[in-house]
Amino acid sequence: MSPLLELRGLTAHYGDFQALFGVDLALEEGRTLAVIGANGAGKTTLMRAITGIARVSGGSAALAGARIDRMAAPDILRAGIAMVPEGRRLFPSLSVEENLRIGAHARRGNGFWTLARIYELFPVLRDRRLQPATALSGGQQQMVAIGRALMSNPRVLLCDELSLGLAPVVIREIYAAFPTIRDSGAAIVVVEQDISQALKVADAVHCMMEGRITLSGPPASLSREAIHDAYFGVR
Ligand code: ATP
C-alpha cells in the first residue's frame, strides 16, 4: 500500500534559483515527521511545494497514491493537506470563530473536526471566540491557526515553525494537542528550528541543508553529533 504522503525526487525553483534538490519523503497515517534545518535550508519551500503554493519543477508528490504535484493549491487543500503557515496569517479584523470557520470552506466530507471539537482541544478559544483574533496572545493565535487548518479535516497537517517567538510553557501547551490530532487519523509534519522540540514529538526526523535532506531517521537513532553535522554542514 502507498504511504499517505510520498515525495519522490521533488525539486522546486524560484526563477533560476533551485531551492529543493530531489527530496524523498514518506509519511504514514497517524505518524509525526519533523523537518529541521537552519534558516534558508528549504523547509518552508518544502511545505509550500507540497501544498501547491510553490511550483514543483520536478519529481512527484502523491497523497494516498494519487499525484498532487500538478494540482492547484485549493484542490490540494480539498484533497486533505492543510498548512499552519509560519507567522499564523490570521485575518485580523475577524473574530476567533470567524477565522476558524474560514478553514471549513475547504472541508473534506463529514470528518472528525468541528468547532465544538476545536474548542475541546483548546478551551481558551471558546472563551474568546467573539474577540478579534489579534486581541489574543501569540500562543492563542497559534491555536487559532491550528484550529483553522483542522477545520478542513486534513489527512496531513503541515505546521511551519509553531514554536517561533513563543515561551516554552506555551509551546508545551500547543504540542500537548498533538496526540488528539494524531488520534483523529491525521499525519503531521512539523517544521522546526527548535531541534529538541522536534525530537520530542516526532516518530522520524529529516534534517535539511541547502535544499537537500542530509540526515533522516527515528530520533533515538540520531546522535547529537550527526544532527549537528547535518544541520550546519560537516565541521
Ligand atoms: P526559514 O527558517 O528562514 O523560513 P527555510 O528553511 O524555511 O528557512 P526557505 O524559506 O524555504 O528556507 O528558503 C530556501 C531558499 O529559498 C533560501 O535560500 C531562500 O532565500 C530562497 N527563497 C525562499 N523564498 C523565496 C522567494 N520567494 N524567491 C526567491 N528565493 C526564495
CB 206 within 8 A of CB 174: no
Sketch the domain layout of the chain as residue ranges: 5-232
Q: Are 74 and 45 in contact (CB under 8 A)?
A: no
Average pLDDT over residues 33-59: 93
> Which residue has the least CA distance to atom 25 on ligand 1?
14
pLDDT score recorded for residue 222: 84
Which ligand 1 atom minimizes the distance to the CA of 86?
4
What is the reported pLDDT for 234? 63
Which span out of 42-46, 100-104, 231-235 was modeled with the highest average pLDDT?
Answer: 42-46
Q: How far is the CA of 46 from the centre of ligand 1 (A)?
A: 10
> What ipTM was estimated for this complex?
0.93
Sign, CA torsion 96/98/103/108: positive
Comparing CA positions, the residue from 134, 7, 137, 133 lying closest to residue 69 is 7
Q: Verify whether ligand 1 is closer than 6 Å to residue 233 (CB atom).
A: no
Q: Provide mean pLDDT across the span 111-139.
A: 93
Nearest CA to 135 out of 90, 103, 177 is that of 90
Query: In the predicted model, what is the mean pLDDT of the chain?
Result: 91
Comparing 68-72, 99-103, 152-156, which segment has the lowest mean pLDDT?
A: 99-103
Of 37, 160, 39, which is closest to residue 89 (Cα–Cα)?
160
Q: What is the pLDDT of residues 175-232, one digit of tens each?
A: 999 999 999 889 999 998 888 888 888 999 999 999 999 999 998 888 888 888 888 7
Q: pLDDT band for position 61 (50/70/90)? A: very high
Say which residues have a Cβ less than 8 Å from residue 92's Cβ, sequence separation at least 6. Answer: 132, 133, 134
* Ligand 1 lined by 49 (C-beta under 6 Å): no
CATH classification of 5-232 is 3.40.50.300, yes or no?
A: yes
As a dihedral over the C-alpha atoms of residue 209, residue 214, residue 26, residue 170, rounded to 10 degrees, the angle is: -50
The pTM assigned to this predicted structure is 0.93
Strand order in the sheet with 66-67: 17-27, 5-14, 56-63, 66-67
